[in-house]
Structure 1
Amino acid sequence: MDIYAASLPGCPGLGAKHMRGLISYFHTAEDVWKASDEEIENSRLITGKRKSAFLAWRRETDPVAVAEKLYTAGIRCCTWEQDEYPALLRTTSNPPAVLFYKGCLPDHEKLVSIVGSRKCTSYGLQTAERFGKKLAEQGVVIISGGARGIDSAAHTGALSGKGITVVIAACGLDRVYPPENRQLFDRIVENGGALISEYPPGTPPLGRQFPARNRIIAGMSRGVVVVEAAERSGSLITADFALEEGRDVFAVPGSIYYPSCMGTNLLIRHGAICCTSFKDVLSEYGWCPEEGEKKTSFRQPMTVEEETVYQYCTLGEEVSSEDILQQSGFSVARLTMVLLSLQLKGYIQEVGTGRYMVMVD
């Protein structure tokens, strides 16, 4: 471990750009740390309060103690110049100078992020988990932010697909945020994935750090799949970062009646790739399985009655059998048979007693 590189991010106000500038100018993080105050001044890379804060930080900080703290917590680090640093992220306009991580940094070509709302619908949760699982089964590494809602569902899906998934945190890796995801994060590392952050241990999850975190999610990915996002959403910030870096943005269409879907529908209107199946992502990059590996999978066609009931199930997040009964004019016995047939054919699923929603491919 480069104990000097590990010590730099803790300095207040010293951002990724300044760290990269200093390391490039002095050649190594150790040289930055051991440069004289006059040499730092003459470099003119940091000035004013930022320079004063850095010089004070060097005097007060013991790199050996920093390294020991990281080792005890099971945290490693690397700089953007080292081989283990994620290759796609290195090519972005503002890559973190130093990454802290637990687990194994991904060394794969198939990298896709799945992001979305914390306050999402059951449709969104099902979709994110389904996409995560099916993409992971095809060897795609799933990247997300470890947050509640869509992020957690995507990570969980990747694990159920026996794949690798990566969490990009907006705090130090000695903290668990959200706290209820401790077991999920442990499983991710145990199954070959990673927890990654540009923030040193001890950094709390402050609001301003989440947009900065989103640039890493986008930067590590070939494409970003936005499953569900409101009109003002951090997921749209991730999409913007992706577009700025020339990465693809996929958006899963949602109900026009739900505020949590307004952002994704807007993305589609503005040119994002409309994504109605995980297969759309695989197809975009030519990652579809070979012909011999494909499984024959098809649904039996719907009858006229089934099509009528199915349409009611597509109007919102979920619908009750009572609502369908009132609107369709079917008898209870007939509706029961149609709903059962639609479930057997794989078009809908029961998500609660007498409540149904469309199956996601």
Structure 2
Amino acid sequence: MAPDSASAWLRLIRSEALGNAAALRLVTHFGSAQAAVDASPSAWLRAGVERKQPVPGPEDPQVEADLAWLAGAGNRHLIDWQHPAYPQRLRDIGNPPLALFVVGDFGLLAQPQLAMVGSRAATPQGLDNARAFAAELARRGLIVTSGLALGIDGAAHQGALDGGGATLAVCGTGLDRVYPARHKALAHALVERGGALVSELAPGAGARREHFPRRNRLIAGLSLGVLVVEASTESGSLITARLAAEQGREVFAIPGSIHNPLAKGCHRLIREGAKLVESIDDILLELAPQLSAWLQTQPAPPPSPNPSAMEPPAPDAESARLLGLLSDAPRGIDDLVAASGLPVQRVSILLTQLELLGRVAVHAGGYQRRDR
């Protein structure tokens, strides 16, 4: 992004009296952030927005500090509303963010994601479940998204890394700091291993109570669905689940003991219509239509630079290849990825499609062929 363009967006972000919705209205009306900040107060009024205070200038100290922060490392990005990498799922929610600050791989924003949330004061069993589910989701090719909080969030991020996948941490502070501080090493590790930190808050924003509901709507908005691992009836995770339902996302919950107060929130969600989850396959079967639709929008793999190499197979040929690798004996997804030479995400989605068609079955932690 050119510095002048970034500066215009930052000037809108730093217009504290403006608000996110009004800033989006101005950009839509004038066609660009630069045109919006250059417009007169009367032009704003004709666009339906009253200018209650001057817009910060390009030499505003906060704007200059933001630009310096963005330029301070090659993996820092500002993904504004008009940026091609701005995720479509966020465009579809109520009051989408004007822009996202990202540290790490911003390409993950558009990848299929499952959010995992839960109690900060989780039980050992809850933490084990979060790590195990996140690791398996990562192995199946999904991005694990959470909020970097203590408890379930941290276990989910760590589990995704353990599974060899990428994870997105949506933060309730500016990305020049890590909250909570004890997750600083985890935050650095997830970026170094192909993940990303994301926030709509500018650098310098601290951990304030009102920031976390805003963070939660982004966690829900970025994801295909939200899995609540363990939560009390007063947990903020239930807010994330409600936001997900309002945004048309799937809501999943892991049941627990009737004697565990941190299972009561999950039980409430299940009574209200959330999908009860006992295994990863319970989630993937629900998400299969969305994963299939996403796969169809992806460009075909580029041809091999080696002219003598075989062209990449079409999707039906890929399915046939997987079927040819299966028999009555269950075979794990890692083994199928290695044998097929296909990316893990494509193998996971194709297996789910084949399972829905009745061509494969899941048994003993692996996949086996079913004769029709």
TM-score, scaled relative to structure 1: 0.76
Tell me what 1:296 maps to.
Answer: 330
Tell me what 1:61 maps to.
Answer: 60
Deviation at 1:210, TM superposition (A): 0.5
Q: Which residue identity is paired with 1:152? A: G
Q: How does 1:146-295 map to 2 (within 5 A)?
A: 146-286=148-288, 292=325
Instruction: Measure, in 1, the Cα distance between the counterparts of 2:258 and 2:19.
Output: 40
Return the match for 2:13 from 9, 21, 25.
9
Aligned partners of 2:138 and 2:144 also within 8 Å:
yes
Tell me what 1:43 maps to.
Answer: 47
Sort the Cα spacing of 1:297 and 1:228 in 2 relative to 1 into closer, same or farther, 3 A.
farther
RMSD of aligned residue pairs (Cα, Å): 2.5
Sort the Cα spacing of 1:208 and 1:266 in 2 relative to 1 into closer, same or farther, 3 A.
same
Deviation at 1:243, TM superposition (A): 0.6
Q: How many residues align?
A: 295
Deviation at 1:64, TM superposition (A): 4.7
Aligned partners of 1:166 and 1:196 also within 8 Å:
yes
Mark the runs of 5 or more structure 2 residues left unpaired by the alignment: 293-318, 333-363, 366-372
Instruction: Measure, in 1, the Cα distance between the counterparts of 2:18 and 2:76.
Output: 21
Sort the Cα spacing of 1:12 and 1:293 in 2 relative to 1 into closer, same or farther, 3 A.
farther
Matched residue SS, 1:231: coil
Sort the Cα spacing of 1:82 and 1:284 in 2 relative to 1 into closer, same or farther, 3 A.
same
Instruction: Measure, in 2, the Cα distance between the counterparts of 1:18 and 1:12.
Output: 11
Sort the Cα spacing of 1:293 and 1:88 in 2 relative to 1 into closer, same or farther, 3 A.
farther
Instruction: Measure, in 1, the Cα distance between the counterparts of 2:127 and 2:65.
Output: 42
Deviation at 1:42, TM superposition (A): 3.7
Instruction: Measure, in 2, the Cα distance between the counterparts of 1:232 and 1:284.
Output: 27
Tell me what 1:85 maps to.
Answer: 86
Aligned partners of 1:108 and 1:141 also within 8 Å:
no
Deviation at 1:79, TM superposition (A): 1.5
Matched residue SS, 2:27: helix
Deviation at 1:76, TM superposition (A): 1.2
CA deviations 1:86-142 (Å, max 9, x no partner) are 221122122111111001121554211111010110111000100100000010000
Aligned partners of 2:230 and 2:262 also within 8 Å:
yes
Structure having the higher Rg: 1
Question: What percent identity do the matched residue pairs reach?
Answer: 39
Instruction: Measure, in 2, the Cα distance between the counterparts of 1:196 and 1:215.
Output: 13
Aligned partners of 2:11 and 2:58 also within 8 Å:
no
Deviation at 1:69, TM superposition (A): 2.8
CA deviations 1:162-203 (Å, max 9, x no partner) are 101000001100011010111111111111111000000000
Tell me what 1:96 maps to.
Answer: 97
Tell me what 2:33 maps to.
Answer: 29
Deviation at 1:80, TM superposition (A): 2.2
Aligned partners of 2:18 and 2:52 also within 8 Å:
no
Return the match for 1:124 from 126, 138, 146.
126
Q: How does 1:328-343 map to 2 (within 5 A)?
A: none
Deviation at 1:70, TM superposition (A): 2.2
Instruction: Measure, in 1, the Cα distance between the counterparts of 2:125 and 2:278.
Output: 12
Q: Which residue identity is paired with 1:115? A: V
Deviation at 1:264, TM superposition (A): 0.6
Tell me what 2:337 maps to.
Answer: none
Sort the Cα spacing of 1:65 and 1:185 in 2 relative to 1 into closer, same or farther, 3 A.
closer
Tell me what 1:145 maps to.
Answer: 147
Tell me what 2:313 maps to.
Answer: none
Deviation at 1:60, TM superposition (A): 7.1
Aligned partners of 2:228 and 2:237 also within 8 Å:
yes
CA deviations 1:245-275 (Å, max 9, x no partner) are 1110000001111221111110011110000
Deviation at 1:11, TM superposition (A): 2.4
TM-score, scaled relative to structure 2: 0.74
Matched residue SS, 1:228: coil
Instruction: Measure, in 1, the Cα distance between the counterparts of 2:17 and 2:172.
Output: 16
Q: How does 1:299-338 map to 2 (within 5 A)?
A: none
Aligned partners of 1:144 and 1:151 also within 8 Å:
yes
CA deviations 1:210-244 (Å, max 9, x no partner) are 01111100111111000011101111111111111
